[in-house]
Amino acid sequence: MYSLNYRKNPLPDPIFGGRFLMHIWPRPLMWAFEWHDTSKDLILKRGEPLFYCQFDSYDPSRTIKLLQAEKTPELMHYMDQISGVVNYVNQTFSLFNEVEKMRPKKLLKMDK
């Protein structure tokens, strides 16, 4: 994954990306890189993007709309159930069918 904006002092490589089906696998977004040459400064400036998100859908012509929603107890419980599995399973995509079966019908409450 590469930064979309030029930096005078580039971030260390590699930067690790990831992808997941957010309606089945809600989770906080995390960002990671490897900093091997610690003799070089790591410069992070306020307001400068650290990473970008890309949204895919089954229908590429479909518009993606982001809405603010309230974290519900159902969402938090569901996330607790699935969060630790990445410590034990390398390819979490293989679990999506099973996880989808335990997903509550409604996870979010939309803000007004």
Count the Cβ atoms, other than its own, within 10 Å of residue 29: 9
| Structure confidence at residue 92 (pLDDT) | 76
Give me the pLDDT at residue 77, please. Answer: 93
Spell out, as residue ranges, where the chain has pLDDT lower than 70.
Answer: 1-5, 112
Q: What pLDDT score was predicted for residue 7?
A: 74
pLDDT at residue 98, rounded to an integer: 87
- Per the CB < 8 A criterion, the answer to whether 29 and 53 are in contact is yes
Amino acid identity for residue 110 in this structure: M
Q: In angstroms, rounded to a whole number, what is the distance separating the alpha carbons of residues 41 and 71?
A: 37
Residue with tokens 């989770």: 27
From 41, 44, 19, select the one nearest 29 (Cα to Cα).
Answer: 19
